[in-house]
Structure 1
Amino acid sequence: MNRKTIFITGCSSGFGQMIAQHFQQHGWNVAATMRTPEKDTLLHTLPNVKLYRLDVTIPETVDAAVIQAITDFCKIDVLVNNAGYGALGIFEKAKEEDMRRQMETNVLGLMRVTKALLPHFRANRSGTIINIGSVAGELAFPYFALYNASKYAVNGFSKALYYELKMQGIAVKLVLPGMMKTDFFGRSMTVFEDNAVKGYEKFEETTRHNIMHMAERGEDPALVVRTVFKAATTDTFRLMYPVGWQARLLLILKYILPHPLLRRIMETAITRRKI
C-alpha cells in the first residue's frame, strides 16, 4: 500500500502535534514542521515521521522545508496550515510589532507555505489544502481585534482560493474551531500591556474574565484532530468544517439572525460580568 503524506506546520505543541500523531497512527507519512525541531521530545520517535525546521515568518525556511519534504517523500498529498497564535487585548494598547507579528504569522505565513506547495500540487493535478481558521474569522469579539483580523483574512483567503484551485484538481478546506481546551491562552497567546492607555479598565477586566470563563468550558481539542482527518480523507470539495457545538451554533446564529440582534447577543455574552 502506498502511504499518503501530510505536511503540517506548527507541530511543536497543540493541534499540530496532535494532528501529526493521529495521521501517523493511521498509516500516513508525516512531514512535521516547527521552528525548533531539536526541542521535540515526541514526534521524532515515531515511525514514518520526519521533522523539518520551518518558521512561517522566514521565507527561506519555508522553501527549504518544502523542497526537502518532497525530496524525502516524493509526493505531498495534504497540507495543513496550522501554525499561528493569538494576540489579544485592547487594540489601542497594541504596538506596531504586535500588529505585524500577528499578521505575519497567521496570514502571510500561511500564504507562504501554501504558495510554496502549489507548484507541486498542480504538477500532480491533486492535493488538499486544509487551513485551520476559526469561528473568530466569521464573527468578531471584543479583545480579539488583531486575532479576528487575521482569522477573517485566513477565512477569506481560503474561500477565494477554493475557486482558483478547484479547476486544478486541488481542494481547499477550512476547519473552523470554536473555543477549545488547548494551550491557546498559555504559550500560544500574547496580551497587550500598556499602562499609559487609560479608560478601558472596567471593560477590560470584565471582558478578560468572561473570555477565561468561556475558555474553561472549551471543547475537546480531539474534535479538531478528527475533523482535520475527515477533511483530509473525504474525497469532496466541501469547503467549511465547523468544529464543535459552539462553532456550529454561532454560525447558525450568524446566518439566521439580523445583524443588530446578533451584535447585541454577542455584546451581552462577552462584556457583562459573570459570577
Structure 2
Amino acid sequence: MKKIALITGCSSGIGRAAATLFAAHGWQVVATMRDPAKAGELARLPNVSIGKLDVTEPQSIAALVKQTLDTWGRIDVLVNNAGFGAFGPFETASDALIERQLATNLKGVFDLSRAVLPAMRRQGEGAIVNIASIGGLTTMPLNAIYHATKYAVVGFTEGLAYELAPFGIRAKIIAPGGVRTEFAAGSLALTFSDDQHPYAGMVGRVRQAFAGRAGQHSEPEDIAKVIYRAATDGSAQITYVAGADAEALLAARAKLGEQGYVAMMNERFNVAGPASH
C-alpha cells in the first residue's frame, strides 16, 4: 500500500526538497502551495500531485484534506512546512503583520494538524512533522515575533506527542538552522517600512552580520533528509536539530547558559547589551 505524504509550502526551498525526496522513495506526495502555478518541475515528477492551499484559511485546509482523503484514502505523514519570518524591531511591527505571522506559522499548524488527526486515528498510525527552527530553541536579535511562533510550535509539538502516542501517531519537530532558500528574499517580512526609526542602526548591523554568515547555511536537500528520517524512523524521538550551524548554536547555549549566550549574540551581531543595574 502506497504511503501518502501531505507537505505544505512546496513552491520552493525545504518544502520542495522534501516533496521531491518523499516521491523518490515511492511515496505519493500531495505538495501544496498557495499558487500552484509556481510548482514548475515539481508538478511533472512521478508520485507528486499539486494542491492549492493557504494555511491561513480554514476552508482551504478543509477542502485540501478532504480532497486528499477522497483521492488516496489516507494521510500517513503531514509535514507542516509553510511559514515566513518577520524581521525587525517588535515595536515597529504592525498588528496586521503580527497577526499574519501567528496565522501562518502557528495557527496554520494547529488547523492542519487537527484536520488530519481523525484519519490518522482511524488508521492507527501516522506522523505529524512540524518544521520549527533553531529559532524555536534559542534566539537571535530582531526576530522576536518569529521566535514567538517557533517556540510555540516546539511546545505544541512536544505536548501533542503525549496525546497522540496511544493512537500510534508520532509528533516530530525539525529545527533547521540557516538554509540556502528564498526564505530571506521571498519569505521575509520587515516590521519597518523605512530607516526613520530608533532601531535603524541596529538593523543595519544585524543585517550585515547575517549576510556574513550565509556561507554556513545548509542546503534544502540536507534538511529534507532529516524530515524524511523523522517521518519514517518510527522512534520516540521528538526533536531533530538540522544543520551544523543549528547544532553549534544549541551547544553554545547549553555551555554558556542564558546570560552567556545572550552576551555572545550581542557581540556576534554588534548589538549593545543590556545596561547594568
**Global fold match (TM > 0.5):** yes
Tell me the CA shift for residue 25 of structure 1.
1.1
Label 1:142 to 1:272 Cα distance change in 2 as closer, same or farther (>3 A). closer
Query: What is residue 235 of structure 1 aligned with on the other side?
Result: 234
Q: Does the alignment pair 1:182 with 2:177? A: no
Query: What is residue 73 of structure 2 aligned with on the other side?
Result: 74
Which stretch of structure 1 is more off in the superposition, 104-113 or 258-267?
258-267
Paired residues of 2:216 and 2:245 also in contact (CA < 8 A): no
Tell me the CA shift for residue 75 of structure 1.
1.4
Query: What is residue 208 of structure 2 aligned with on the other side?
Result: 209
Moved over 6 A (4+): none
Which amino acid in 2 is paired with 1:24?
A
Which amino acid in 2 is paired with 1:41?
G
Which amino acid in 2 is paired with 1:4?
K
Tell me the CA shift for residue 272 of structure 1.
5.5
Which amino acid in 1 is paired with 2:248?
L
Q: Does the alignment pair 1:129 with 2:134? A: no
Which stretch of structure 1 is more off in the superposition, 178-187 or 30-39?
30-39
Tell me the CA shift for residue 136 of structure 1.
0.3
Which amino acid in 2 is paired with 1:226?
K
Hey, what's the Cα distance between the residues in 2 that align with 1:80 and 1:95? 29
Q: Unpaired runs of 5+ in structure 2?
A: 273-277
Hey, what's the Cα distance between the residues in 2 that align with 1:260 and 1:196? 30
Tell me the CA shift for residue 147 of structure 1.
0.8
Paired residue total: 272
Tell me the CA shift for residue 195 of structure 1.
4.1
Query: What is residue 30 of structure 1 aligned with on the other side?
Result: 29
TM-score w.r.t. structure 1 length?
Answer: 0.94
Q: Does the alignment pair 1:155 with 2:154? A: yes
Which amino acid in 2 is paired with 1:33?
T
Label 1:20 to 1:76 Cα distance change in 2 as closer, same or farther (>3 A). same
- Say which SS state the counterpart of residue 172 (structure 1) adopts: strand
Tell me the CA shift for residue 217 of structure 1.
2.9
Query: What is residue 142 of structure 1 aligned with on the other side?
Result: 141
Paired residues of 1:8 and 1:80 also in contact (CA < 8 A): yes
Tell me the CA shift for residue 81 of structure 1.
0.3
Query: What is residue 166 of structure 1 aligned with on the other side?
Result: 165
Q: Unpaired runs of 5+ in structure 1?
A: none
Hey, what's the Cα distance between the residues in 1 that align with 2:177 and 2:91? 26
Q: Does the alignment pair 1:264 with 2:263? A: yes
Which stretch of structure 1 is more off in the superposition, 94-103 or 206-215?
206-215
Hey, what's the Cα distance between the residues in 1 that align with 2:197 and 2:77? 47
- Deviations along 1:20-65, one digit per CA (max 9) or x if unpaired, are 1111111110011111213422222122211111100010010110
Tell me the CA shift for residue 143 of structure 1.
1.1
Hey, what's the Cα distance between the residues in 2 that align with 1:91 and 1:198? 12
Hey, what's the Cα distance between the residues in 2 that align with 1:250 and 1:39? 34
Paired residues of 1:92 and 1:197 also in contact (CA < 8 A): no
Label 1:47 to 1:194 Cα distance change in 2 as closer, same or farther (>3 A). closer
Query: What is residue 3 of structure 1 aligned with on the other side?
Result: 2
Hey, what's the Cα distance between the residues in 2 that align with 1:212 and 1:90? 18
- Say which SS state the counterpart of residue 40 (structure 2) adopts: coil
Hey, what's the Cα distance between the residues in 2 that align with 1:196 and 1:21? 40
Paired residues of 1:93 and 1:197 also in contact (CA < 8 A): no
Paired residues of 2:65 and 2:115 also in contact (CA < 8 A): yes
Hey, what's the Cα distance between the residues in 2 that align with 1:62 and 1:271? 42
Tell me the CA shift for residue 11 of structure 1.
0.9
- Say which SS state the counterpart of residue 11 (structure 2) adopts: coil
Query: What is residue 18 of structure 1 aligned with on the other side?
Result: 17
Label 1:149 to 1:62 Cα distance change in 2 as closer, same or farther (>3 A). same
Hey, what's the Cα distance between the residues in 2 that align with 1:144 and 1:197? 19
Tell me the CA shift for residue 201 of structure 1.
2.3
Hey, what's the Cα distance between the residues in 1 that align with 2:103 and 2:257? 34
Identity %: 37
- Say which SS state the counterpart of residue 128 (structure 1) adopts: strand
Hey, what's the Cα distance between the residues in 1 that align with 2:160 and 2:195? 42
Tell me the CA shift for residue 17 of structure 1.
1.0
Which amino acid in 2 is paired with 1:81?
N
Tell me the CA shift for residue 115 of structure 1.
0.5
Query: What is residue 53 of structure 2 aligned with on the other side?
Result: 54
